[in-house]
Amino acid sequence: MLWPELGSHAETVMAVLGLIIVLSLGRGIRSSAALWLLLAVVVVQVISWTLGYYHHPQWVADNPQVDRLAKLFIFISVAWWLGGSTRNTLLVWCLAVMGLILSSVVQGDGLNEWLRGFEGHRVGFGVRNYQHGAMLFGVALLGLVVFTPRFLAPGRWRAVRAVAWCVMLVLSAIAVLIGQTRAVWLALLLALPLVLVVWLVARRFLGGAPVNRKFLVSGLVILLLVIVGAGSALKGPLLERAGKESAVIGMLLEGNIDDVPYTSIGIRIHSWQAAFEWIEQRPLVGWGGQGRGLVIDHTPWLPDRVKNNFGHLHNFFIEVWVAYGILGLAVIAAFAFWVGLATWRAWRGGVLPGDMALFGAGFFVYWMVVNQFESYNSFWTGVYVHNLVVGGLITHYWRWLRVGRERSGPSGAGAAGIS
């Protein structure tokens, strides 16, 4: 950018003006809850910045920086571009997984990084840091497991689909293991059993298309063999990684927070403790977009090595609370509720396939867990995944609304409820 200061101001002004124009002139779109939630996000950030400008002007940015939360609404463009097509959505999601695998070969140390992972080293595949690479492959693994019946279903290119699924599944499972990110392991341990239980219950009570049990069992056996095989080969490093913080966890369970050392978990605990000290002072509107940096830089008892190496709080929801207060959390909660409701309605309306709705439910659990231990939604990796997944779900919801309005005619324009 030639003039970064001018560009920063222009970006905010253009984003706000564009939103106002869409809400004022857009026919159909302006009634969508997505745009009103986006407007609410912008308003909350502007309120926090304005009040912060009068309360602590030395610590606020020179503009509201509304992109901090507004970038989570890029899915609106994704959903519009997908046009309500299941085929397009699945194709884009599949290409995203293939692109992730390809990027792990061409970025960072490439194949050498995979080899280092097999030797027991923790690797990040050239994506920001270790946690972000593992998170991306965790989402890929979750999707590949959920869509197993679709990949193995009879039809054209079945053999090609099965081979592609097998390769992507094996590589994703191995990547999750050698990424050695405990939060991703925990998230998958919670999300995968959930989707399995929901799938079994749904098939028991709702029925569904017949599944080739032979292929399905074969696929699950392959996944199990990969996990067990890789786990056995990396038994030492994985067990060390899993149990490395056992002493710290013991201290936390005993309530000895002040004695917790500044390990991986310890840094998180102490930074969250510091964050709540700041939250107590401005719980409703927060400290503005610079809130997380203020906690790290201006909490006197945090050691210098934490201040020098970290600029975020390793928890997206705490960061939102510090920055935008309860108002910010309320908008994020309303947004999550709307996405869940929209997904449910699209599935119940027969527009969103059951496996995609199941993936949406599993992704929600996975995303809630991993964002408790790393602020993925504050970085490009999380924004990318969030908008890709949510866009694929919401495009079906908008298609359901469109079909409902076409069936009911002009008199039924408002029959869909919250849009």
Cα dihedral 248, 250, 256, 260, rounded to 10, equals 0
Whole-number pLDDT of residue 369: 97
| pLDDT band with cut points at 50, 70 and 90 for residue 219 | low
Question: CA-to-CA distance for 149 and 145, rounded, in angstroms?
Answer: 9
Specify the residue for token string 């509720």: 337
Three-state secondary structure call for residue 256:
coil
Percent of the chain with pLDDT over 70: 82
From the list 358, 385, 403, 397, the residue with the least C-alpha distance to 92 is: 385
221-278 pLDDT, tens digit per residue, is 776 777 677 666 666 666 666 667 777 888 888 878 888 888 888 899 999 999 999 9
Query: Can you read off the two tokens belonging to residue 131?
Result: 């946690």
Please give the mean pLDDT across all residues of the chain: 85
Q: What end-to-end distance do the CA atoms of the chain give, in Å?
A: 38
105-136, pLDDT tens digit by residue?
A: 887 677 888 888 888 888 888 787 789 999 99
For tokens 């341990």, the residue is 189
What is the C-alpha to C-alpha distance for residues 141 and 164, in angstroms, rounded to an integer? 13
d(CA 55, CA 157): 63
Judge if pTM exceeds 0.85. yes
Of all helices (H) and strands (E), which one includes residue 268?
A: helix 264-281
DSSP per residue, 292-331: HHHHHHH-TTS-HHHHHH--S-S-HHHHHHHHHHHHHHHH
10 or 90: which leads in pLDDT = 90
Question: Which amino acid makes up residue 193?
Answer: P
